[in-house]
A and B are shown apart, each in its own frame.
Chain A
Amino acid sequence: MPMIEIAHVSKWYNPTFQVLKDCTLDVAKGEVVVVCGPSGSGKSTLIKCVNGLEKIDQGTITVDGIRVDAPETNLPKLRARVGMVFQHFELFPHLSVTDNLCLAQMKALGRSRDQAVAKAMALLDRVGLKAHARKFPGQLSGGQQQRVAIARALAMDPIAMLFDEPTSALDPEMIQEVLDVMVDLAREGMTMMVVTHEMGFARSVAHRVVFMDQGEIVEDAPKAEFFGKPRSERAQTFLSRVLVASH
């Protein structure tokens, strides 16, 4: 059974604009799937449907055997087990780095403050930011903030991690420090669905690459096959563009 199962999902933002068209995609346990595609193709929308931040109109989404789209599903409970990292970090600016990591551990998982802080410290150490525990998000660089955001998601002991363009709002010199953390995570066997145009990341740790265009999943192939020779012309054009852009 796949960890994330997206089956025949369609979504409309209004009656005339269909943002997702019959999307089907599985992510197995321990698998790393990279989703790419041109701007506006629906990548963010698709990944937000996985934890129910966006509603779907047709099809089904199942995470660890639980139907995300079923009205009886306790969404907060499900989301607490699925980590999400955003393009613009979305750290809570009024809370210290430590409190950013502790808030949901305490409120959603019911951990004691001591347990939560211990976990927070271990994770901050892991992403190399233990020295910044007492600072506020606004006092950190973009790369540091995004590492804190990853640590915040990991503090919930997630069964899968969703990343929506985690490095595209960063200055070029900070991208690598964030990718390093993600690569480590992938190597440890975390289930990951990653929207990114960092093809270097895809090449080194992805198992599969999915290409989206205009709300459709145009291509879903093992990494070697995708980089070897994508079947669709649209993916080829896209790939040649991002590969040129990143060199």
Chain B
Amino acid sequence: MFSDFDFDVIARSARYLLVDGLGFTLTLTALATAGGVVFGTLLALARLSSLPLLPRVAGLYVNVLRSLPLVLVIFWFYFLVPYIGQWTTGASRPIQVGAFWSALITFTLFEAAYFCEIIRAGIQSIPRGQIAAGQALGLTYAQVTTTIVLPQAFRTMLPVLLTQTIVLFQDTSLVYVISITDLLGAAAKVAQRDGRLVEMYLFAAAIYFVISLTASLLVKRLQARIAIIR
């Protein structure tokens, strides 16, 4: 049945599909993961802090974002970010940030809510005695956090964080709603142009599958290697 298929279309558009499309997908995944982990860590620390109000504000943020479908957030942010930019900088006109920045900001803010919960669990898994020992040595809250709590917490939660990153990698395909050319977008365009829908969507699925599967296998191997000797 594959006799009618023209898989040559992949070779002809390889550069566009892999460099422009997949390149964008991977860049967005990497940057949003980095930003999401940093912001997620801050959110987790805020949720666990003993200051008044801060834990509630962070908790509200996390719960709101986790109750919204990502595709809706992407869509809304695309329209809202220019106005938020205008409002925060006091500019006279909405600040056009472009689809890429809009997508990056959205994914960072959205994924931070998920990373926050993972990181919070990681921090809470550190025994209280470790914190007491750090404090007893004269370390400040910030020093205890950065040198004792987070390094141990990240080791414990690295597998879960990477698994969430794989989810993020797949979720980036939702940027189609703001017409960005990611891997799926590129495949869709070639499919339309050359009338090769089945081939292109099979190809895109294969790439997502291979990358996600490889990454999960790597996570499994990593998990065994980074365990702390206790």
Whether a CB of chain A sits under 8 angstroms from the CB of B13 is: no
Chain B residues whose CB sits within 8 angstroms of the CB of A79 once the complex forms: 135-138
Taking CB as reference atom, which chain B residue is nearest A85? B136
Could you tell me if B229 and A76 are in contact, using CB atoms closer than 8 angstroms?
no
Taking CB as reference atom, which chain A residue is nearest B136? A84
| B90-98, B113-121, B147-155, B211-219: which lies at the interface | B147-155
Could you tell me if B138 and A108 are in contact, using CB atoms closer than 8 angstroms?
yes
Q: How many A residues are at the interface, by size bracket?
A: 20 to 34
Taking CB as reference atom, which chain A residue is nearest B147? A103
Q: Summarize B's interface: helix, strand, loop or mixed.
A: helix
Chain B residues whose CB sits within 8 angstroms of the CB of A51 once the complex forms: 136
From residue 106 to 162 of chain A, which have CB atoms closer than 8 A to chain B? 107-109, 136-139, 152-153, 156
Could you tell me if B148 and A77 are in contact, using CB atoms closer than 8 angstroms?
no
Whether a CB of chain A sits under 8 angstroms from the CB of B192 is: no
Chain A residues whose CB sits within 8 angstroms of the CB of B143 once the complex forms: 107-108
Q: 0/1 per residue, B133-149, Cβ < 8 Å to A?
A: 11111111001000110
Known contacts: A90-B130, A94-B151, A136-B229. The answer to whether A81 contacts B137 by CB under 8 A is no
> Which one of A48, A81, A88, A139 contacts B138 once the chains associate, using CB atoms below 8 Å?
A81
Could you tell me if A104 and B138 are in contact, using CB atoms closer than 8 angstroms?
yes
Give the Cβ gap from A149 to chain B, nearest Cβ, in Å: 8
Whether a CB of chain B sits under 8 angstroms from the CB of A190 is: no
Chain A residues whose CB sits within 8 angstroms of the CB of B151 once the complex forms: 94
Taking CB as reference atom, which chain A residue is nearest B230? A138
From residue 181 to 213 of chain A, which have CB atoms closer than 8 A to chain B? none
Chain A residues whose CB sits within 8 angstroms of the CB of B148 once the complex forms: 92
Could you tell me if B129 and A107 are in contact, using CB atoms closer than 8 angstroms?
no
Chain B residues whose CB sits within 8 angstroms of the CB of A103 once the complex forms: 137, 139, 147
Taking CB as reference atom, which chain A residue is nearest B143? A107
Whether a CB of chain A sits under 8 angstroms from the CB of B167 is: no
Whether a CB of chain A sits under 8 angstroms from the CB of B224 is: no
Known contacts: A93-B228, A138-B229, A138-B230. The answer to whether A88 contacts B139 by CB under 8 A is no
CA separation between A79 and B143, bound complex, in Å?
14
> Which one of A90, A94, A136, A139 contacts B152 once the chains associate, using CB atoms below 8 Å?
A94
Q: A residues engaging B (CB < 8 A)?
A: 48, 51, 53, 75-84, 86, 88, 90-94, 103-104, 107-109, 136-139, 152-153, 156
- Apart from the given pairs A76-B138, A86-B133, A90-B130, 5 other A-B contacts in the complex at a CB distance below 8 Å: A53-B132, A53-B135, A82-B136, A86-B132, A93-B229
In the complex, 11 of the A-B residue pairs with CB atoms within 8 angstroms, ordered by the A residue number, are A53-B136, A76-B138, A82-B136, A84-B136, A90-B129, A92-B133, A92-B134, A103-B147, A108-B139, A108-B143, A138-B228
